[in-house]
Each structure stands twice: as structure tokens, then as C-alpha cells.
Structure 1
Amino acid sequence: MLTRTVKQILTRCRDQRGTIMISFAVLLPILMVLIALGVNSVKMFIAKAKLTDVVAEVGLIVSAHSSVNNKGQYPPELKNLVTRYVKNFFPEASKMPEVVVDFSQVATDKTSNAEYMTYHPSIKVELPFPFYHATLSEGAKNFTISATPLTVKKQVSRPVDVVFVMDFSTSQQGSRMRILKEVFRELTDYILASNPESKIGMIPFSSGVAVKYPETNQRGGPKAGCSVLFVPKKDWAIDYAFWGDKFVDKKYTKLTDQSYYIDEYRRKYYLNRVGQSRPALTVDALNKQWCRKNDVWGTKVGQTQYSCFDPRFKILDLDGSRVAKDDIYTKRAQRTIEQQYAMAFKVRERQRSTYTIEHDDAIDYEATLNQMFGEQAIITFPMLWDDRDNYRYRVYNQMCHNVGWWGKFGDLTGARLYSWLIELTNNANELHQFQNMEPQGWTATTSGLVRSVPVMMKGTNPRKIFVIMSDGEDSKAPGIVTDRYLKKYNLCEKIRSGILERSKDHTERVDIYYVSTTNSDKRVNYWKDFCTGEGNAAKAVNRQAIVSLIKGYLSDEIGNFSQ
């Protein structure tokens, strides 16, 4: 019984194994096809996922190597770069990948003062199947994957015009000036790095703004000047550029006396300053180069034996002839002396007590506010290289001490200005000359601010920013002027609205900021209430605080590169 049962079981097993083996033989090809399809599918899925990452990286590469300003140019070298980059990820590719990048038009985000462009990279890659059979791929040995076009947005700051109106009074000497130099260098580098088309100007003010003439002085060194912007009232309307280096005294009332003593002091200046600068000139050499010998001389005829002047620059005289601009014996010069001598003496004497020619009695505020957007109201006069307070040669001797003077150098050849105005520029080397500047003089903040307006008007960028930096109160008479400008005449709003109305370059926004470099809440509140408005005036007393504060002010306008 047992033997029969075992035989029956063995027989059944032999019959079932045979069936299984037959079934397995039938299903094996199908299983192999399914496995091959699965491997191919996994290969395609992995390649697709990898390509999605690669296309994002290609977008970043293209945006990093492209400029918003180049209007979407896709140079061949950049195309070759990204094609090779993709090939590195797919070395088994049967041919070079196809990389296409579409560029959008440049758009503007006025809120953040930025321009942006979008990049749409798409890629196709042909790869071999891991398992190939004609029945599996309808005869194709390779498959193609493509990435859905990805949008990469590159945003860059639009260029801005920034003018720093800097207090260069004596109180800024020492550690404060060292801090300002560090601050200015860091901020200028920051602004230009954000957008190299941005422009920066620097207005160093004391009582007036120190400037450097384009021409040299008589011995080849720099020629120093002082510059202000105001329209004088009638009683103060003289030719300041003419009188800036002319000796005047109230005791001389006749034209011959006036001319003679102007001529005499000019002769002394040439002998003692021009002639003695290195290398020293003999009197004969000086006379030959810079002076004219007169046939007659004396107080009765109104001239000295030798009349000295700079013959290098010519103007038209009243009769239309071309004459030396600096000669006091032209018809134009003699008329100026005759008509303005007494007024010129009054101007000189008043500035000795007010420390400025821009005092409250002299300024026609309404006319100045209308004309400050151009250069017609700019007054620039020479500051001769001589002792700082020698009013015989430096007639407006309280003005612009921050140009420097004879005492430090004792030489016209190697003279160096302490400071000077820098027009709007993106030349970092020119801006870094700030590191060689030194402060000196009184404080007249609105003198610097008003003088900065025509500098800003030369800018062509859509945003314009004034940054006023000072360490304290204005001097007495200049403080009265500042009060008048800010409280009565609403100077800052006139600047903002006037630039927007008059600018030829479609200015969109004008901001004025005030930074007190001392802990003066009073000064900050004064400028906040009467100029900048809430949030645009603050105090900062150390380098990092000043940098952080001004960067915070500029962040909306400057921005950063982003993608």
C-alpha cells in the first residue's frame, strides 16, 4: 500500500515538472524582454533626471557669462563651453548634445532699481540603449532625452549717480578723516562693483568748495581755486573771478591809484613767489617770461615799471581784440576796476567777519534756486599759493582753506592741493585720490550742497543720490544761510523736484541723505525735519557704523547681482 502511494506521488511530480519546464521555456523570452525594457526605462529615467539638473546648471553658466546689457548675445565660445559641459555628464552620448538658449528682452524693475533678463536653456542628448533589439526599439539603437526649458532670471542693479557732499572743515582732522577715507574707499568700491556704469562725485566743502583748475600755475604745479554757487544781490554783484587775486584798499579812490597798487602787489607776488619757486628764476628771466616793461610808470600813470601777468590765456577785449585775460590794463579790466573797486573792497571786508562771500546779505536766494541746475551761477576764483591769511594775495582769505596754501610747500612747482572737487566718474583710480586729501577751514554745509547740484546734473543714470556727511554745526554766518535755505526756501525739495523736471536723461528718483559722524541728535533731527525727511538722516560715529548706514541707504538703489 505504501509502495503504491509513493509511486503515485513520484509520477505526479514528474508530470508537473515537465509542465513547469515547458512553461518556463515558453515564458523565458518574454521575461528577458521585460527585463531589457525595464533596464532601458531605468536608464532613460536616470538620464532624464540628470539632464534636469544639468539644464539648470547650464542656465546659471549662461547667466553668469552674459551681461544684461549685451541684449542676449550668445557668443560661439559660450555655446561651445556649455556643449562640452553637457557632454562631460553624458560621455556615452552617440553625438554632441544640442544646447539652445533663448533670451528674453531686457526688462526693468523700478521698485528695486534693477534690470533683468530671463534665460530659457533647452538640451537634447542622444544616448545608446543598454539593451538593443529591433523589436524592443522599433529598430532604433539610441534614444533622445530633452529637458523642459527652464527659466533662469538674472537681475543686476541699474547704474546710479552718487554725489558725496563731504565736510572738510578743520574739525575733521586726525582720526575722523582717517575714518572718512576708509569709508569712502569701501563705499566707492561697493558702488562700482554693483554696477560699473554707476558714477560717483565728491564735493569737499568748508566755506566754499576746493577745486583744481584745468590749467597749471605759472611754474607748472596745480592751480588752486575756490568755487561756490549763488546769484549775488545787486550790491554784491562783482566779478569774483577777477577780484579773487587783486589787492584792494579803501584809501585808494582814483583809478590810477587803484591800478597802480594792484599792479605793485602783483609784481611782488611774481618776485617773491613765482620767481623763487624751484628752480628759482633770475629777475631778468622773470621779467622776460612773465612781465612787461612799461615806458612810463608811477602812481600818476597808474602802473609800475614792470607789470606782471599770465599771458597764456586770451580773451576778447571790449574792442574785439584778443588780449591776455590776466592783464589788468585791457579795456575790459580797467572798466571792471573803475566800476567795482569799492564793491570789491566791501566784499573782501565782509568775508573776513562772516568767513564766506556767501553770507545772508549777499545771496539772492530765489535766483540761486532757479539757476543752481546749470553752471551759469557758479563762481570760481583763484586761491594764490601764498600764506593762508594773507589777504593782499588771497583776497578772500577766509574761503576754502581746504585748498592748501604756500606755507606747507613753499613752492609753486611742487604745490599740492589739500582737496579738490571730483566730478562724476567711474574711474576708481581718480576716486581713490581721496586718500591723499586733507581737511581745513570753516563749515558751510549748504555751500557744498548747492555747489553739488550742477555736478549731479551731468549724470545720466536714472537714480540720483546725495549723501551729506558732516561732523557738526555750521559756522555762525554760514549757519544763517543754511537756515534760510532749508527752512524758508525748502532747498532740498527744490533740488529733488528741479532735477526731476530738468533732467534730460529721464531721472526717476532723487534722494538726499544726511550722516552725522558725531553723536549729535540735534543735528540729525534738524536735517531730517528740514531736508531729508524721515529715515534719511542718522548718526554714525565709527567706520563700520558709517559704512553699514550708508550701504543701508544705498541698498534700494544699488542692489546686488542675483539670479
Structure 2
Amino acid sequence: MKKFYLLSLKFCKDKRGAIAVSFAFMLPALIGFFSIAVDGSRFNAERSRLNDALNQSVYAVAITNNGNNTAAFRAQNNNQVVSYLSYYFPDKQISENDVTVTVNNQLVPGPGGTPIPAVDYQVNARVIANPIFDLSKNGSPGFSSNVTITGNGLSGIVRRTLVVNPSPGDYVFVVDFSGSMAEDSAQSGLTREKLLKKVVRDIGDEIFDLQDGSTIGIVPFGSGVPVILNKKNYASSQSKEYGCSFIGKMHGRFEKLDWNFWYNKPGGKGLPTEISKYVTKTDDALYDYYWYISDFQGYRIDRRRTNWLIDNNYCRQSGDKLLCDADPKSDIHNQLNQYKLKEQYSDFVAFTALEEDYHSILNSGTVDVAGTVSGDYLFDESNVRTISSFHNSYSLYKLPPDGDRSIFPATHYSCNWASPIKTKLETLTTISKPMYYLLELSTHKQIINEFEGMKPSGGTNSLSGLLRSVPLIAKGKNPRKIIFVISDGDDDFPKLRQDMMAKDNLCGVIKEGLKKYPANTSTTESDIYYISLVHNNTIKDWAENCVGQDNAFIATNIKELMDVIRQAIYKNEIEYLNPNDVK
């Protein structure tokens, strides 16, 4: 045994150099094969992790569904993908340049073979991985120092498809009808007004053709929301007053104002402090109103004019003066109204001065915000108020009859620009409705026909339209309620709206309230969307303070508008796709 051990030791000593040399030659290859085995498994695992990240990120992009058609939207989508990749690969620096997002609009077969819109979203990305052993510099087998890993082509693709039979809904379009809507849109050959009407027509036809009980209401707004009134304006048997409709709790001093009395009185800044002088100015303004009415009727000789006005109970003789007001509820000389005049005059003066400052009934000086957003206030139709827009702002068009008096025209309380007499005073005798006005919820296409006859004019106060839409849509009986606010510009005075949205959660109050009020409502789903017809800052404003990023859109042409509105009305299905199914 000892002899064998000695022989073996001698052999090892004699061959030691040759074995070392052989091992030295074989070692790089052995390390290379080890690297291929170990790093190859690592890289396959990272590719699997990358595919998981792509599947998650593309789903998020599809939910956002911004179209990827502007630089801002592309950056938004790329940032989402980078966020997911960074979560899955916390040890790597992921750049937007490593990400590709592709969006393709499709028409795919729907129920019965009818083509329905779909959008295919595809995401791909690359990450750089490093092997454990970097042998590329000395030519040994193995991976290079930077290995690019990409998706395997079987992940990162989803299809978002519209479902053509959503549950019934109540849909209200709160639409900007300010003067700028008469300007050209990005859709060739169409003004913004006509673009909007075309889209409301097309989407309205689709909704009504479902015949599932869905309703549409329309709230056109300028500086306020005009409404039709069945109230004679005394110019002729065919002519009517129109009103300015609003909802919003007023501060205490303004809540008590009786608009059945004040609606036809001179307002605005510069009113006298003495009530007696104000009475004189009111008499002058109302005399001018009825003077023009008699003129339209052909009574141009003073004696005949006076007799006609008295015979028709428009005026009464008081000494050598005519006192005119055919409405006993507003007659400033009616003994029953003297208390209102004395008790409310200072508050009326303050209110109309604020209305003149802000061009709106709803402004920071008049609205009790806490009371407005409290409980069911906004959802109760009985809280809606309408001020008759009395047509006696005639000093804007003609000199007063005797040419030497300063006439204080009555304010129109936010809705003056909806008056047809803005174009021709003589139309006072034929007014039947304002230039645009609120349309109640309807299941009939006639509502679209009526909307198409309206004309834009005036300023912009989107808060008046949004608030007024709430009690309107709350009257609907369907389980879904969606409000679309569509505008082409900034509000004239946005502060109150911005404060109510940012500080008082106005839009959250509306969305949650529609599911609670009125009692026993059937509503289970409610939402608000904001759509800008132009590129401006309002989209950021509404996204951050009201509707959220997912419900704020810029849509400048028919296709974009239809896509956005359809996306909201029709429920969407999102499904992962096999690349072989993508055409």
C-alpha cells in the first residue's frame, strides 16, 4: 500500500506542469459556457419580466385612451410605460427613448356583423442587461457587455372596442354658445357652432335609434342660460319675454330679492342713493319701453299715442306725466310694492352692480358657495330661479324719444346677448324665444331639430351652464347620467368656478349627488366630461379641478368629437390580442 502511494505521488509530481497548461487553455471556454448557461437563463427571465411589464403598461395606456395624437399625449403614454418598466426593473435606468407606443384605429365586426369602432394599442420597449462575466473584449465565448432585451412580440397589444348596447342613460350637453362659436373650426368648411350641431345630430341619432329610453337634454350657455317664457312682453300679441335661468344659493341679502318686482327696473352701476330719484329713472325707462311699443303699432301722434297707451292699460296719466307699467307685480307706484322698494333697494343696487362687474348673476360676490354645494340643493328643481329678461335697453339702439334724458336701461341679468333685438329693435314685436335656450330631457329627435335653429352670441360663463344642468339631469330616470361640457374658450371670469371646483369639490358633489338625489333615484353611474374645441389652458384647468385627466379632451374635428363622446356613452371592452389577430 505504501509503495502504491509513493508511485502515485511521483506521477503527480512528474505531470503537474502539463495539467496546469491544459487547464489554463480550457478555463476561458469553461467560463464562457458557464456564462452562456447562467446569463442566458437570466436574460430569458428578464425578457419574461419585460413582457409582463408591457402587458400591464399597454393596458394602462388603453384605459387612458388619449389617442396618442399630440406631443403631450404621446409623452403621457410614454411616461406611463416608463413607470411600469421602472417598477419591474428597479435597478435599471429606463428612458422614454427606449419606449414605443403605437395606436391604430380599426373597424371590427360587432353584433350582427355591423362594424364598430375599435382602437389597437401596442407597446414595445427595450432594456439593457449586463452579463455576470464580460468576455467579449478578449474574444471568448459569451455575451457582450450590453445586451438589449426586447419584447417577444406576443405581448404588449390590446384592443379597446365600443359596445353598441350600453345601459340606458340620461345625457346632457352643456354647450358654449358665446359669440366665438361662430368662428371657423379646425374642420374644413364648418364653424365651431356648426361642428357642434353636426356632432350632436349624429350622436343624438345613434342614442335615439337605440330606443331604450335614453334621453338627451341641451343647456346652451353664454354669460348665463336663457330659457323660453310664456310671458307676454306687451309689444304685440305674438311677442314674448324670455328668461335667464340659474341655480345657486345667494348670500342672505340677495336671497330675499323679489324678481317679480325688480326684473324690469334699471340696474347696474351708477344708480342714485335716493329712492325718489330712482323712481324717476324707472319711470323714464318704462315710458321709453311703451313709447317704442306704441311706435311699432303706428301711433306716432302724441295725443293718439297717449290715448292708446292708456286705453290698453300700459300707462296711466299722473298730472302732465304718463306712468307706465302693465304688470301690477312690478309697478313701482303700486302701494303693495312700496315695502319691497324701500326694504330691498340697497341690496338690489349692490346685486346689479356685481352683475355688471362680472357679467353674470353667478359671481364671487353673490353666491353662497357652502349653501350651493350642501345636501340636495343643486338637485332640487324647486331651487332653480328665472329672471325675466325685460327688453328695454333701447338707448343702445336709438336715442330716447325726446333726445335729452339719460336713460338707465334695465339689466338683462346675464342673458342679454341672447336677445333677438340685438340685431333689430323692431323684432320686439315678434319675439317668441331667445337666440338659444335650455332644452329639457327628451326621447325624441325633435330636440335636435330645435337645437339646430339656435344662434350663438355673448360671453362665456361655463359655471352657469354646469350648475343649471344638474337639476335638469337629476330629473332623468335612467341608471346612467353623463354631463358633457363642450366649450371653445376661457370663461370671462373663471375665479368662482375654479374656487368651487378646487376648494369645494363641486364636480365630486355633482357626481355623487346624482347617485343620491332625488330620494330613491335609480342612478348608479354618473360622470362629467370636458371637451375643448380648441387648444387652450381650459383642458388643464378642468382636468385638474373637475373631471380628471381621463375625462378631459381636446377634440377639434368631427371624428375626434364623435370618438370622445362615443367612448363615454358606449361601454368599452379591453382585451389582450394575439399578434396574429392584429390586421
Provide the TM-score with structure 1 as the length reference.
Answer: 0.62
Mapped to 2, the partners of 1:474 and 1:454 lie a distance apart of 22
Indicate conservation of the 8 Å contact 1:226/1:399, yes or no: yes
Cα 1:191–1:394 shift into 2, 3 Å:
farther
Structure 1 stretch displaced more, 228-237 or 389-398: 389-398
Q: Give 1:470 deviation, angstroms.
A: 0.6
CA gap of 1:423–1:331, structure 2 versus 1, over 3 A, is: farther
Q: Distance in 1 between matches of 2:204 and 2:394?
A: 32
| 1:394 to 2:406 alignment | no
How far does residue 372 in structure 1 lie from its aligned partner after superposition? Answer: 1.4
Query: How far off its partner does 1:342 sit?
Result: 2.3
Q: Output one character per residue of 1:443-501: Cα deviation in whole Å (capped at 9) or x when no partner.
A: 111111011111112111111110100112111x3x00111111001111101111211
Aligned residues of 1:216 and 1:223 also touching (Cα < 8 A): yes
- Tell me the secondary structure at the aligned position of residue 338 of structure 2: helix
How far apart, in 1, do the equivalents of 2:260 and 2:552 lie? 36
Hey, what's the Cα distance between the residues in 2 that align with 1:230 and 1:357?
9
1:540 partnered with 2:546 = no
Q: Contact conserved, 2:170 with 2:480, CA < 8 A, in 1?
A: yes
What is the letter of the counterpart of residue 426 of structure 1?
T
Q: Mind listing any 5+ residue stretches in structure 2 that lack a counterpart?
A: 1-163, 184-190, 397-406, 573-583
Q: Which region of structure 1 is more displaced relative to structure 2, 484-493 or 357-366?
A: 357-366
Say if 2:516 is the partner of 1:501. yes
Q: CA 1:400–1:543 in structure 2 vs 1: closer, same or farther (change >3 Å)?
A: farther
Larger radius of gyration: 1
Is the contact made by 2:506 and 2:546 (CA closer than 8 Å) also made in structure 1? yes
Q: How far 1:404 moved relative to its partner? A: 3.7
How well do the aligned residues superpose, as a CA RMSD in angstroms? 2.7
Identity %: 26
Q: Does the alignment pair 1:434 with 2:434?
A: no
Counterpart-to-counterpart distance in 2, 1:232 and 1:388: 29
Separation in 2 of the partners of 1:450 and 1:267?
Answer: 36
Kindly indicate whether residue 226 of structure 2 is the aligned counterpart of residue 226 of structure 1: no
Contact 2:387 2:413 in 1 (8 A): no
Looking at structure 2, the residues matched to 388 and 306 of structure 1 have their Cα atoms a distance apart, in angstroms, of: 18
Q: Does 1:405 align with 2:405?
A: no
- 1:222 and 1:497 mapped to 2: Cα distance? 38
Name which of 178, 182, 204 aligns with 1:169: 178
Distance 1:427 1:222, change over 3 A: farther
Instruction: Give the aligned partner of residue 384 of structure 1.
Output: 390
* Residue 551 of structure 2 is aligned to residue 528 of structure 1: no
Counterpart in the other structure of 1:275: 294
State how 1:77-156 maps to structure 2 within 5 Å: none
SS in 2 for 1:247: coil
1:190-213 per-residue CA deviation (whole Å, 9 max, x = no partner) reads 111122521111111111101111
Match of 1:486 in 2: 501
Instruction: Flag the 1:411–1:399 CA change in 2: closer, same or farther, 3 A.
Output: closer
Note the C-alpha offset of 1:270.
Answer: 1.1
Closer/same/farther in 2, CA of residues 497 and 215 from structure 1, 3 Å limit: same
**SS of residue paired to 1:410:** helix
Q: After TM superposition, give the deviation of residue 442 of structure 1 in Å.
A: 1.4
Structure 1 residue 305 corresponds to structure 2 residue 309:
no
- Are the structure 2 counterparts of residues 523 and 307 from structure 1 closer, same or farther at C-alpha, using a change threshold of 3 Å? closer
Residue pair 2:226, 2:415 contacting (<8 A) in 1 also? no
CA deviation map 1:76-120 (0-9, x unaligned): xxxxxxxxxxxxxxxxxxxxxxxxxxxxxxxxxxxxxxxxxxxxx
| Rounded Cα–Cα distance in structure 2 between residues aligned with 1:550 and 1:515 | 9
1:553 aligns with 2:563: no
Amino acid corresponding to residue 290 of structure 2 in structure 1: Y
What secondary structure, in the 3-state scheme, does the structure 1 residue paired with 2:381 have? coil
Q: How big is the shift at 1:537?
A: 1.3
Q: CA deviation at 1:263?
A: 2.8
Q: Residue type matched to 1:242 in 2?
A: F
User: Contact 1:269–1:393 at 8 Å: present in 2 too?
Assistant: no
Which segment is superposed worse, 502-511 or 161-170? 502-511
1:315 maps to what in 2? none
Contact 1:368-1:377 within 8 A present in 2 as well = no
- Closer/same/farther in 2, CA of residues 500 and 388 from structure 1, 3 Å limit: farther
SS in structure 2 of the partner of residue 500 of structure 1: coil
1:362 paired to 2:362: no
CA contact (8 A) 1:419 1:439 kept: yes
